[in-house]
Copies of this chain bind each other. A is one copy, B any other.
Amino acid sequence: MAEVASDAAPTCHLAVVSGPTFAHEVAAGLPTAVTLACSEGESQWQRLAPAIARPAFRPYYSDDVTGAEIGGAVKNVLAIACGVVDGLRLGQDARAALIARGFAEMLRFGQALGAKAETLTGLSGLGDLVLTCSSTASRNFSLGKALGEGVSAAEAMSGRLSVAEGAHTAPILAKLASERAVEMPIVDTVCALLAGELPADEAVDILLARPLRAEMSG
């Protein structure tokens, strides 16, 4: 979005707000913390932060616009994968492992695109990932859950009134990752599921049957 906005309005100063924010909780005044990533650095943040901060809504400074955007995009795809695991009733151990290994993919991909590790580890990366992947209310999660329950990809996609962003993001992520030789096996599996190339139970078999190897090696 930042690239599109810069093209459309090249003289504007760009900032990105991202983080674990269910809108209904923000509206209810429940405490929420977000990343406010400023392309112009800290002086821009000092202007913007007091304007949007409330006692229960706390923007944290970052100068990493790319990192803030990547966290929000990748987490939608990983939430689909978590939904698949939930739809197949594979339990909470499997979901937690998937979140940790999905975060490793987010970190590898983000760093290849110039994002900072601390942004990806922060509110807009890990924080948003944890929220989206734990909530059955998320649109992406519920799409994955339908796939896990055996609904065909075509049917699961056509029957939705709301947009599951991750379904559109997944193939773009996979392409960008492949161009940079970044391994993203969970994202690749979500792509295959959405394309109808793989039923959900076989997708999980593939992820579980990978050879025993070191953590974080791919």
A residues touching B (Cβ–Cβ < 8 Å)? 19-22, 25-26, 28, 30-33, 35, 49-50, 53, 55-56, 58-62, 90-97, 99-101, 103-104, 107, 118-119, 121-123, 125-128, 130-131, 134-135, 204, 208-209, 212-216
Contacts and interface: CB of A to CB of B under 8 A. Distances in A.
A121 B104 CA distance: 7
B59 A21 contact: no
A38 B192 CA distance: 35
19 contacts: A20-B96, A25-B93, A25-B94, A30-B93, A31-B93, A31-B204, A33-B93, A53-B212, A56-B208, A58-B208, A59-B212, A60-B213, A61-B213, A62-B215, A97-B127, A100-B126, A104-B122, A118-B215, A134-B134
Contacts of A204: 31
B49 A92 contact: no
Nearest to A35: B215
Contacts of A19: 97
B215 A61 contact: yes
A135 B131 CA distance: 13
